[in-house]
A = this chain, B = another copy of it.
Amino acid sequence: MQVATVLYPDFTALDIIGPYDVLGRLPGAEVVFVAADPGLVRNDLRSLSVQPEATLDEVTSPDVVLIGGGPGYLGQLEGGRLHEWLRAVDRTSTWTTSVCTGAPILAAAGLLEGRRATTHWSALDDLTRFGATPTSERVVFDGHYVTGAGVSAGIDMALTLAGRMAGDETAEMVQLIIEYAPEPPYRSGSMEVASPAVIESARVALG
């Protein structure tokens, strides 16, 4: 079972590493990090460089496609090679998935037309713009599309998907291996619970 995880410049690392350390632990799973070109890909914070293991052309029929978000998503909305690849692999994928602002990329590629989907709270309008129906749920299944909300939601998305793919007991095992019994120190992780001051400072920080 091959999981193709897409890298592009200015990605947010946790978006893809959360699901990676879940799906990559399923029996028989092989994750491959793919990018348009060979060579290191640098993240949004500019201090992490990841080496893709394959170019898009080399991965033609993954079982699962996963694309994360990050400020670089704005550079991936205009068509081109990544969109062509996404449309091609989506024809045979069992699951096509996103975390955070990966969903607007799927939508811009034409894959979420009329579908319910989620994304980072700051980017819900992007889904509307490309014909999807945004929801602020944390994990959304619609057909063979699975979308997760912002950044850390990729862990919940991947564990939920793991249950569908490998059964509840295996997914529970992975949840125990990654010791996922979260104890967030604050109640500020969503628009519903964060204070107005925190929401404002987050909007400013996101630019």
In the docked arrangement, what's the CA distance between A170 and B204, Å? Answer: 12
Interface of chain A residues 161 through 207 with chain B (CB within 8 A): 163, 168-173, 175-186, 188-195, 197-199, 201-202, 205-206
What residue of chain B has the Cβ atom nearest to residue A160's Cβ? B185
CB distance B155 to A152 under 8 Å?
Answer: yes
Q: In the complex, how many residues of chain A place their beta carbon closer than 8 angstroms to a beta carbon of chain B?
A: 69
Interface of chain A residues 94 through 139 with chain B (CB within 8 A): 100, 120-121, 138-139
Q: How far is the CB of A180 from chain B (nearest CB, A)?
A: 4
Q: Footprint of B on A, CB under 8 Å?
A: 12-14, 17-18, 20-21, 24-25, 30-33, 40, 45, 47-51, 53, 100, 120-121, 138-139, 149-153, 155-156, 159-160, 163, 168-173, 175-186, 188-195, 197-199, 201-202, 205-206
Q: Nearest 6 pairs between A and B by C-beta? A: A150-B179, A181-B189, A172-B188, A14-B21, A182-B182, A151-B178
